[in-house]
Structure 1
Amino acid sequence: MSVIAGPVDSAWVKQPKVKDAASPQMLAPRLYRTDIEQLNALDVSAFRAEFTALREDFEADHNRAHFKWDDDARNLDYRPVWENFYEFLHRSAFGEFSGCLLYSDVYRRIDDPDVSAIYKCMARDEGRHASFLNWVMREMGRRFDLAALPQIEKLQFLAPQWIFITTYLSEAIGFYRYQNISDHLRARSEYRFHPLFRYFHEWCKDERRHSRFFALMIRTQPQLYRGAWRAFLTKVFTLAVYVTMYLRDQESSIYGTLGIDWEKYDLKVIDETDVAAAGVWGIRIRTKSRWFAARLRAMRENNRANKRGRARAHGIRKPYEVALRYVRFAGNILQLALLAAQPPDRVTPHPRERWLEVAADPADTAVFALNVPPATLPAIAR
């Protein structure tokens, strides 16, 4: 039963209507498609043992019984975290379900039986995650219509080699994001304001398995990544993912509610992801440098200034604020270009005998812990 069915005050019930899931204003949705003919042209037969081992691991479905709610997840009053928790759930559900759509499309059309079976299992996992998050949004009374996502017409095309890079980073970052939150909340359980976070530890293992598959695809197709230009593009793709996460998270207040310093958390996730990625493609971005953080902060301040400018863009000030917005946008492009121009460290990718290793566990989460009052979600009185 939806939480708004209980005796709550009318000010909470009269929230603004949730926008359509396909609205580009909401999350700037990006749903991807790729070239299936190119995928089918990739030969993995020389690495059959690795793909078969991965297929067996995926088909074991280790989390088949994991995502089941206990009674303490029902009939909660979400007012203390109304906006920031919903934003977190919505963004996470969108990411999970967009992965489900991509993987579902691929597995139905791919010829290699092992690769097809793995994509099918990943679609199963991502759909399960998205449905789990959507259940919480329904309990909040703010349903997110996942069924509307396949109706978004403008799918962004990426060639297979960049789909592998993008999805590898997405899955690896997902693992480090969720696992860092899970480790933090196990150490400081007073900030675990919702039962959802109890599920993150096992959930993360799905994300790590997915990243291991895409790492294997990248490693077994070196012809797609040879040359200085493609190495540079790999670095740019990687930086774009890191920057996007950082700039989105600076707008979210959910991390403070969880007792987390969002920037220290983001920089930790970025660094841990980059260590894992360097073992795949041999490029280590200098993510621990103060110069790297300064470029991110410059973009953050430009975005914050643009947000203030939009609020002031009325009457005769509007042309001036619009012009400044483009200047700051150009400034962000410059900061990204400076990051791309910074020489990376070259490292030796993992040898074949280490290709099926999982990404390392996160380091101690104490570095991003905040001392703030924890939030609570009381049960709705009946």
Structure 2
Amino acid sequence: MFGTKQQLRLAGKGRQAFGPAPAACRRRSARSVVVRATASSNLNENLGFQTMRDGVKVAAAESLLTPRFYTTDFAEMEELFSDQINPNLDMAELESCLQEFRNDYNKTHFVRNETFKAAADKVTGPTRKIFIEFLERSCTAEFSGFLLYKELARRLKTSSPKVAEMFLLMSRDEARHAGFINKALSDFNLALDLGFLTKNRTYTYFKPKFIIYATFLSEKIGYWRYISIYRHLQRNPDNQFYPLFEYFENWCQDENRHGDFLAACLKARPELLDTFEAKLWSKFFCLSVYITMYLNDHQRTKFYESLGLTTRQFNQHVIIETNKSTERLFPVVPDVEDPWFFEQLNRMVDVNTKLASLDADTNMPAFFKTLAKLPFQERLAAYVIQMLFCKDKQVGSVDIDGSAASQRLAF
């Protein structure tokens, strides 16, 4: 989920292509999806990965920038969409989304072939390491969405059966994505024990409305990431070293449909979009998602370079396009095309890089490392606070009375 609806057209002034020149929650809600590698290989030796048992990888340590598992106040979520409590709930757009989910356009899309394992065996050294890390993060994010959506479906089944069915069908999509990626990991002689993760991962609590804001942004930014990578590789096929990327075009449409459904959830409860509080939260969650993505991806710039991408240009493109999508719904978004915005993000990357270097220093005693990190942590926190006051744009859906967009229709 924090998984991700992609177009890779760069529009606007002065933009350039981001690539180089063409060349504890309810644990019982999830089923364990474990893929065990059947072949042994020394290709993973010296890459630094630990295994729980043969072919099953120890999950990466959790941090502020790793994908999270979420839980919420399910009783309050029931109240948001209860047919009894909210008899005037506007279900028209939600029911349109439900029909799209029922059509299940990607039912037969995720079919593997013999090229997967053969391609994986050709990926070696640092590229192999960073790609395995990418697969793990992606699998964890998709599986996180599955767990959350499945539990929401179970809890809403009585109070709002149609909304419950939509969450159930979204969990179906996320389970497919997670399973497909985990099978890809097995091509590299590793996989995740997703059942173990379900029981042992730390769950982050968000209030229901925050869950909707955050997952909407997660799905939309996932769309733009997937389609941007897909279209770049279509133009530069020599950089496509593994067939998983060929599935991104249809895959990202699942992300887009999920985002559209969550947008419909917000519009069905206009108080989540048309109040002063909603404006504050809208900007806050945009900044949280954009900052997390930017810092996370710049820590793994070698992965994007392996695809022939320029990390900074790719990330800026994804954020700009995600923000354009979000403008159609949220009442306020940060003005990401103000030059200061990315200048500030780049300053944050520089500080975060120094923190990462200190973390990687195995020779420095822990006490001195903690002291050495303090000034950088303080500077990073100061940059984050400054971002909260960045220039913003008053926008929003024309469907919501009182939004800046609806008011402009009068002129």
**TM-score of Structure 1 vs Structure 2, range by shorter chain:** 0.7 to 0.9
Asked if the contact 2:328/2:396 (under 8 Å) is kept, the reply is: yes
Residues 32 and 156 in structure 1, CA contact (< 8 A), matched pair in contact too: yes
Show the counterpart of 2:116: 73
Match of 1:259 among 291, 308, 319: 308
Deviation at 1:225, TM superposition (A): 4.3
Match of 1:347 in 2: 395
- The letter of the residue matching 1:79 is T
SS across alignment from 1:99: helix
Q: Which runs of 5+ in 2 are unaligned?
A: 1-35, 52-56, 81-85, 401-411
Which AA in structure 2 matches 1:50?
Answer: E
Write out per-residue CA displacement over residues 238-258 of structure 1, whole angstroms, 9 at most, x where no aligned residue.
Answer: 101111111110111111011
Out of 117, 134, 137, the residue aligned to residue 88 of structure 1 is: 134
Task: Pick closer, same or farther for the CA change 1:329–1:127 going to 2, 3 Å.
Answer: same
The 3-state SS of whatever aligns with 1:345 is strand
Secondary structure of 2:328's counterpart equals helix
Structure having the higher helix fraction is 1
Structure 2 vs 1, CA of residues 26 and 152 (structure 1 numbering), >3 Å: closer, same or farther? farther
Shift of 1:334: 1.2
- Give the 3 Å change call, closer, same or farther, for CA 226–119 of structure 1 in structure 2: same
Q: Deviations over 1:332-357 (max 9, x none)?
A: 121111111123111242337xxxxx
Give the structure 2 partner of residue 39 of structure 1. Answer: 77
CA separation of 1:83/1:221 partners in 2, compared to 1, >3 Å: closer, same or farther?
same
Flag the 1:74–1:241 CA change in 2: closer, same or farther, 3 A: same
Instruction: Report the Cα distance in structure 1 between the residues aligned to 2:188 and 2:290, rounded to whole angstroms.
Output: 30
Residue among 301, 315, 324 paired with 2:372:
324
Question: In the alignment, which of 132, 137, 146 is matched to residue 100 of structure 1?
Answer: 146
2:93 counterpart of 1:50: yes
The partner residue of 2:164 within 77, 98, 116 is: 116
Taking the aligned partners of 1:4 and 1:247, their CA distance within structure 2 comes to 35
Contact 2:282 2:333 in 1 (8 A): no
- Structure 1 residue 229: deviation in Å? 3.6
Counterpart CA distance in 2 for 1:194 and 1:11 is: 16
- 2:68 is aligned, of 30, 36, 49, to 30
Contact 2:149 2:171 (8 Å CA) reproduced:
yes
Distance in 1 of aligned mates of 2:201 and 2:181? 24
Moved more, 235-244 or 96-105: 235-244
The correspondence for 1:166, drawn from 195, 208, 214, is 214
Which residue in the other structure is 1:182 paired with?
230
Q: Choose 99-108 or 212-221, whichever is displaced more.
A: 212-221
Contact 1:172 1:273 survives alignment (8 Å): yes
Query: Is contact 1:275-1:284 (8 Å) kept?
Result: no
Aligned to 1:289: 338
Shift of 1:268: 0.6
Distance across 2 between alignment mates of 1:310 and 1:348: 41
What is the CA–CA distance in structure 2 between the aligned matches of 1:121 and 1:173, rounded to whole Å?
20
Q: State whether residues 312 and 318 of structure 1, in contact with CA within 8 Å, keep that contact through their aligned partners in structure 2.
A: no
Question: Superposition pairs for residues 219-368 of structure 1, below 5 Å?
Answer: 219-252=267-300, 253-312=302-361, 314=363, 319-351=367-399
Shift, 1:21, TM fit: 2.7
Decide whether the 8 Å contact of 2:267 with 2:399 is kept in 1.
Answer: no
- Once the two structures are overlaid, the 10-residue window that deviates more, 21-30 or 244-253, is 21-30
For residues 317 and 311 of structure 2, what CA distance do their matches in structure 1 show?
10
| Structure-2 separation of matches of 1:163 and 1:259 | 34
Note if 1:129 corresponds to 2:167.
no
Change (3 A) 1:348 1:171: closer
How far does residue 4 in structure 1 lie from its aligned partner after superposition?
A: 4.9
Q: Report the CA distance between 1:321 and its aligned residue.
A: 4.0
Which region of structure 1 is more displaced relative to structure 2, 222-231 or 188-197? 222-231
Query: Are the counterparts in 1 of residues 225 and 318 from structure 2 also a CA contact under 8 Å?
Result: yes
Contact 1:4-1:13 at 8 Å conserved across structures: no
TM-score by length of 2: 0.79
Q: In the TM superposition, what are the counterparts of 1:189-228 in structure 2 within 5 Å?
A: 189-228=237-276
